[in-house]
Structure 1
């Protein structure tokens, strides 16, 4: 999505997640965490999506795009970083804890605790959003891209209740209207099929 926004063409290699290609010796040599995504830019290799976004912005985006998506203003950037760390340490983990047992352990569906943990994470997101259109105000940043991916993916296993979470629902709908978000919606449909394959 970020590449689309900044006009960067990427050469994709589809990793066979189901066969654990991301855990193969060849892949782990590139990315010792054995996670997706991994970015190879010439002889330089990094992993972790938030780091990749910051790298691509710094190297390939215009100054205007950098300021729009990851502003240099100290407080604004601190807020964005807070949201990125929330995504890495809490929000995405709640999704991972529900999805991975379904995909790899044959669990029939999410547990009540798993769904409750997702709701707690959305409660935090509601507070972060407040009355703003996006996480840091009236403009889209990398924080929205990151948390938007996680929030959209969560809908593959859990209905986002618009009554309990009106701000998150409106924010996600706003993101889904963006042309660049189409790739995420396609991924969510695939994830839904995978998540429901054991039921």
Structure 2
């Protein structure tokens, strides 16, 4: 699909929507992000396979991060392929094309952040999880920012398709879910360890 859009689709879309090709850069960025994320996701399955079985907290944290990244990627891919097709097949300029631009750019940014958090956690050996299964308060996760609540409801949220596991098994009395990114934080935390939003 990407090659088709890249070689003839952008020019056609530019004509249909009366937009210069330079204003369609957000589509190229979305597709490049999808390609990169698919490459990263492929290797997370190998990483998960070699996670020791007895490290339940790390496995649960890994599956949560992988699940969030995967569902974010699926939302982005759906928007970049299916929703873009509507504008490629349109007879003339669509009045909601700018909304599509905002949505696709937002999903690209949010997905990039999910994958950056996943890669950072894997590079650190999932060290944000201590021996008791809690997330450390000095974690390396940086602000997710730039996202909106639009397009966040996806299937498989918080679960890994590799194992079917879910981070939603966390005891609710010892954690709270961030309203911004849905990350399960330890009860004592006043700031989300994933996106740095206040409780």
Greater relative CO, 1 or 2 (CA 8 Å, sep 6+): 2
Who wins on radius of gyration, i.e. which is larger? 2
Q: Greater helix share, 1 or 2?
A: 1
Does TM-score exceed 0.5, indicating one fold? Answer: no
